[in-house]
Amino acid sequence: MNIIVLVKQVPNTTKVKLDPKTGNLIREGLESIVNPDDLHAIEAAVRIKEETSAKVTALSMGPPQAVDALTQALGMGADKAILLCDRAFAGADTWATSLTLSRGIEKIGDYDLIICGHQAIDGDTAQIGPQVADWLNITQATYVNRIEKVTKKEIVVKRRIEEGFERISCQTPALLTVIKDLNEPRYAHMEKLINACTDKAPIKVWNAADIGVSTCDVGLEGSNTHVIKTFTPNFRRQNETLEGSKQEVVDKLFLRLKKSDTTIAHMF
């Protein structure tokens, strides 16, 4: 069985700051980490590997430093890693990102299961998993919080839904997006981590030509959406202080409460 895990390197913050002029993420001074949900995806893949003879490949699209995220995946037990890295991939929206990842997956080939995080803490769209499954035309199960059965032909998972949980059986190849309830990610193994940092580390870097995509289909050029403006909404409330004795303040307050709901909502 062959498993591919999607691993995204993200800034270590959920409070993303944007450059007001360009609308781009301000990455300076921010430590990079493996997207938290992806640690659960790696852990799930490695546990399946330990129970079967599965091979695990970690795949990321990102700048050269995203190799650090792949190093961590190798340290946790992935067998090999591939970084999709090309200037042409920059500025991608989710459409272009998922297309690029899908082409990378097709080049890897012969996969039975793709596991990715439910959501990245920077982009936050939760679109990549479903989009990749769609590009590859394979079964998908989202919000997975338990993997109950894995065979070469079938995966049975429990997934969280609004009203509770759902148990579903998926035919392989399938893609799962996983949430943090799934497992407790292990720490990277020191020896594996050291091996992953050497020149002989099983990390390959593929560019646009390697995965057979035209540069106009990826990155900014291949994106269907473009950010026109990014801004932080102003949540400042309008305060009003009621003056007078305690009784006067209470009377004034009741008078105001008798007014429309809109006024009340405005006051609080």
Measured between alpha carbons, how far is 90 from 124 in angstroms, rounded to an integer? Answer: 18
The yes or no reply on residue 127 touching ligand FAD (CB under 6 A) is yes
If one asks whether residue 97 binds ligand FAD (CB under 6 A), the answer comes out as yes
> Binding of ligand FAD at residue 142 (CB under 6 A)?
no
Phi-psi region of 255 (alpha: psi -120 to 50; beta: other; left: phi over 0): alpha
Helix (H, G, I), strand (E, B) or coil at 94: helix
Q: Judged by CB under 6 A, which of 126, 168, 197, 267 binds ligand FAD? A: 126
> Biggest alpha carbon distance in the chain?
79
Minimum CB separation from ligand FAD for residue 63, in Å?
9
In this structure, the strands spanning 154-161 and 139-150 are antiparallel
Phi/psi region, residue 161 (left: phi>0; alpha: psi -120 to 50; beta: rest), is beta
Angle subtended at Cα 136 by Cα 132 and Cα 138, rounded to the nearest 5 degrees: 95
Alpha carbon distances (Å) from 159 to 180, 206, 222: 12, 33, 33
72 binds ligand FAD (CB under 6 A): no
Residue 116 interacts with ligand FAD (CB under 6 A): yes or no: yes
Query: Does residue 19 belong to the site contacting ligand FAD (CB under 6 A)?
Result: no
Smallest distance from ligand FAD to CB 50, Å: 21
Query: If we measure between CA atoms, which residue out of 36, 33, 40 comes closest to residue 5?
Result: 40
Q: Which is nearer to ligand FAD, 64 or 164 (CB)?
A: 64
CB of 256 to ligand FAD, least distance (A): 42
Site membership for ligand FAD, residue 71 (CB under 6 A):
no
Q: Which of 1, 8, 44, 57 binds ligand FAD (CB under 6 A)?
A: 8
Instruction: Tell me, residue by residue from 198 to 227, as one string, x for binding to ligand FAD by CB under 6 A and - for no binding.
Output: ---------------------------xxx
Residue 15 CB contacts under 8 Å (≥ 6 apart), including other chains: none
- Regarding 183 and contact with ligand FAD (CB under 6 A), the answer is no
Residues that bind ligand FAD (CB under 6 A): 6-8, 35, 37-38, 41, 60-62, 91-94, 97, 101, 116-117, 119-120, 122-129, 225-227
